[in-house]
Structure 1
Amino acid sequence: MQGKRKTQEDAHCVSMNFGDYDHHLMMVCDGHGGSLAAKRVREIMEAHLKKKKFDVDGTKKEQHGSYASNLFNAFLEVDKKLSEEEPFKEGKDFSGTTVNLAMVCEKIIVCANAGDTRCVVSKDQKAIDLSQDHKPTHPEERTRIVKAGGHVTNGRVNGLHGVARSLGDFGYKEGCIGDPNKQLVTCRPDVMVYPSSISEDEFVLICCDGVWDVLSSQEAITFIHECLVVKKVPDLQTCLDMLLDHCLEKGSNDNMTAAIIALPGFCRVHNYFKKPSTGICNVS
C-alpha cells in the first residue's frame, strides 16, 4: 500500500519451494531515499540465495548453521554487489533499504534482518518476534555508530537517518563497505533460528515499519485471527488488505507492505485453502 506517501519505495517477494530445496522464501524490503535499492536488493538477493547450498535436514541443531551462515553472508555479499552497480558506484543514487527475510522449512524458520522491518510467528494465537527492530537508539547500535565516528541525535544517525542497519545507504559506509562492523549504518543482519511446531505454529508474518508504527506484534496477530475466525474472511490476501487499511485508519503515514505464509497444520485444521498444503499470500 502506497498510503500517504507520494511514491511507493517498498519491494517484496514470496517464493514457494524455493530453488532446489523444500523450503519457502519470504522477504520484505522497506526502501527509503528512493525505490531503486529496495527493487535491486529484492532481485539480487533472490537470485543470490538460489545459488546457495543449504543443508535441507533442518531437524538437527548442528545443521541449522547451514541456513544461518548462508543468510548472514548473503546480506554482506548482496550489499557489496549493490555497491558495484553504476547508479550507486557513481554516486547517482543514495537510496537504501531495510531487509527482513525468512526461510520457512518443515522443522525450522530462519529469519535474517537488517533494519526495522519485523518478522512475527503466530503460535497458538500468540505473537513471537523473530527479529529485533534496529533503531539507532538501541545501545548496541549507538555504540557502533559512535565508534564509527558518528552520533545519534533525535533518534537518528547523525541526526538524519532513521535506521541503524540497511543495505545500500552507501553515503554512511564510505571506505568500509567490506567491513560491516565499521559502518555507521551496517548491512550486518541478526539471524534467528526458530524451531517450528506444526501443531502450534500457525503463520509467519513480515511487515515493514509502517505497520509496526501503529500496531504491536500481538495486535497484528490478533487482527488476522479475528478476520479469519470471527469475520469469516475466506483468504489471507483479504486479511492483509484489511490489516493495511486498518493501519491507514490508525494514522500510519508510511508505505506499507505485508507478507504472510500460513503453515500446513493451521491450513488443515481450519481448511482455509481447501487443501492440505502450505497456503501463501502477499500484498504490496
Structure 2
Amino acid sequence: MPITSTDKDITSIPSEIREQGGKPEQGFGFTELMGKRHRQEDTLAWSEFNPEALSGLTPEQIGQRLWTAHRQINAEIINKKELDHAGSTAVTTVIKNNFLITALLADAAAFVAIYNENAEVISATRLNRRTHTPNLERERIIEAGGCVLSGRVFGSLAVARALGDALYAPSVIADSDISIADLSNIPPGYSVQLISSCDGFTDGAKAEEKAEDRKIDETPQEKQGREKQVQEQYLMNALKAFNNGKPKLASEMSLSEHLAEWAIGKGSADNVSVLIQTVKESGKPACFNGIAAIYDGHGGQQVAAFAADNIRATLEGLFKLTEEEYQILEHSAVSQKDCFLRDNASIPVLDLNTIIKKPEPASNPAPALEKIAAPHSPGFFTNTNGSPQKEKGAPRRQLKRTQSVLDLSDILEGENLQEGKRVKF
C-alpha cells in the first residue's frame, strides 16, 4: 500500500505519480509528486505521540536521541546487503509543544512559516543552517579515503551525508546536523507551520537566483549562505502566491500541493515531497507532540522506505531510556562525542519571535524545565541530577553556545526588537 494510516501514524511510500494525505484534525497534510522522474523514490512518515513520551526530556536530550536514531537506522541499513546500492537523505523533526527539534542529512530542508492575525505569511525561515555537499566536506571526505570530483563523492554521489550508501562509506556518513526552534514567545494571534521538503522542492529556487549575486570566487560556505537566503525568499514567494495571499486559511494538504506544483513549475526535474504541520494555531497554545519526516531516496526507494517504516519505533525506544541507559549506547551522542561535537558543538536556537520582532507577551510560555539547558544544567553531557559528568569517558567539554539564539532580526524591517524578548539561558 502506498499510504498506510492509523489514528496516530501515516507512512507514505508512494508508487504513483501523485500521493496526498494528512490528518486535518491534527493540522497535518502532505503531497508527493513523481515530477519529471521515471520513478518515485521519496517516502514520508508522520506520528503523533502521547505528551508523556517526551515530558521527561529537554529539547537538547531529544536532539541527542534524534541524532542517534538516524545512526541506528543507518547501521541496520548498512547490514542489509540488499540495500548496499541505495541511500536516502533525511529531514526528521520532533515537535514537543513549543519546540521543533530537527535532524538533517544531505540536501533536504525544514522551514518554519509564521502568519499574522490575518493569515498572511510574514516570514519563512530555513531551520537547517547548511546542507551536506561534497565541496563543503571535501577535507573530511579525503581524510576518510574518498575524493571529490566535479562536486560529487568519487565523482558520482551529489551528497556527503545520507542514510545507506554503503558503497561510499566511510566517505559518506549518517551524522546529522541538529537545530532547535522555540515558539514560546510568538504572539497569541499568530500561527506557525513547519514545512519540510526534499531537495526536489528547493531545486525550484534556482530559478529565483540572480546571476549578479553569484561570486566567481565564492567559497562553499558563502554559497551555502546565499542559497539559504534564496530558498527562504522562494518559499515566501510561493506562499504569497496562494489563496489570495492568505495561505494559512487553506488546508495543509492543499497548501502542500501548491508548493510541490510550484517547484515543478519553476523547473524542478526531481521527485517533489512537501509536508506541512501546523504547530501553533492563532489564539491557541502550541500543544502538538510528534514527528514529521521526509526521506528522499537515491539508487532506489528501499532505504527511504526502511527509514519511514522504522523511525517511530526507533525514537520511541530511545525516548523511554534513562539518561544513563542512553549514554552507554553504541551510537549515543556521548559514545560518539567526537562525531557529535564536530557538527553540533554550537547549536543555534531560533527564537521565532526575533524574526517578527513583535513585543506582545508570550503566547504559551514554556515551563522553566523545558528551556534549552545551559552548561551544567540538565541536558547534553550531564548526569541525571544535572551536574556535569566526570566519569571516565565522558566528553571533556560541554556543548558551548557562541550564539544561544539565532538572531534573524534583519529579515523583517520596521519594528524595533525590545530588550528581553530573546530566550535567556
TM-score (norm 1): 0.71
Aligned counterpart, 1:169: 165
8 Å CA contact 2:93–2:293 kept in 1: the answer is no
Structure 1 position 86, deviation (Å): 4.5
8 Å CA contact 1:121–1:204 kept in 2: the answer is yes
8 Å CA contact 2:89–2:107 kept in 1: the answer is yes
What amino acid is the match of 1:136? P
Matches within 5 A, 1:1-284: 1-16=33-48, 18=49, 20-21=50-51, 54=54, 56=55, 63-88=58-83, 93-123=84-114, 125-131=122-128, 132-138=130-136, 141-173=137-169, 183-197=170-184, 198-199=186-187, 202-215=192-205, 216-228=231-243, 230=245, 234-266=250-282, 268=283
1:86 & 1:184 partners in 2: Cα distance? 18
2:174 & 2:191 partners in 1: Cα distance? 30
Gaps of 5+ in 2: 1-32, 116-121, 206-230, 296-425
Residue 256 of structure 2: SS of its match in structure 1?
Answer: helix
1:207 & 1:220 partners in 2: Cα distance? 11
2:259 & 2:114 partners in 1: Cα distance? 19
Q: Percent identity?
A: 25
Q: Which has the larger radius of gyration?
A: 2
1:184 & 1:209 partners in 2: Cα distance? 21
Deviation per CA, 1:18-42, whole angstroms, max 9, x where unpaired?
2x436xxxxxxxxxxxxxxxxxxxx
What amino acid is the match of 1:116? D
2:144 & 2:81 partners in 1: Cα distance? 26
Deviation per CA, 1:189-218, whole angstroms, max 9, x where unpaired?
011122223435611110111111112123
What amino acid is the match of 2:42? D
Gaps of 5+ in 1: 23-52, 174-182, 270-275
Structure 1 position 74, deviation (Å): 0.8
Q: CA, structure 1 residues 189+282, in 2 after alignment: closer, same or farther (shift >3 Å)?
A: closer
1:243 & 1:83 partners in 2: Cα distance? 34
Q: What is the number of equivalent residue pairs in this alignment?
A: 224
Residue 269 of structure 2: SS of its match in structure 1?
Answer: coil
Aligned counterpart, 1:40: none
Aligned counterpart, 1:29: none
8 Å CA contact 2:162–2:173 kept in 1: the answer is yes
TM-align CA RMSD? 2.8
Q: CA, structure 1 residues 86+160, in 2 after alignment: closer, same or farther (shift >3 Å)?
A: closer
TM-score (norm 2): 0.48
Residue 214 of structure 1: SS of its match in structure 2?
Answer: helix
8 Å CA contact 2:45–2:294 kept in 1: the answer is no
2:67 & 2:125 partners in 1: Cα distance? 21
Residue 45 of structure 2: SS of its match in structure 1?
Answer: strand
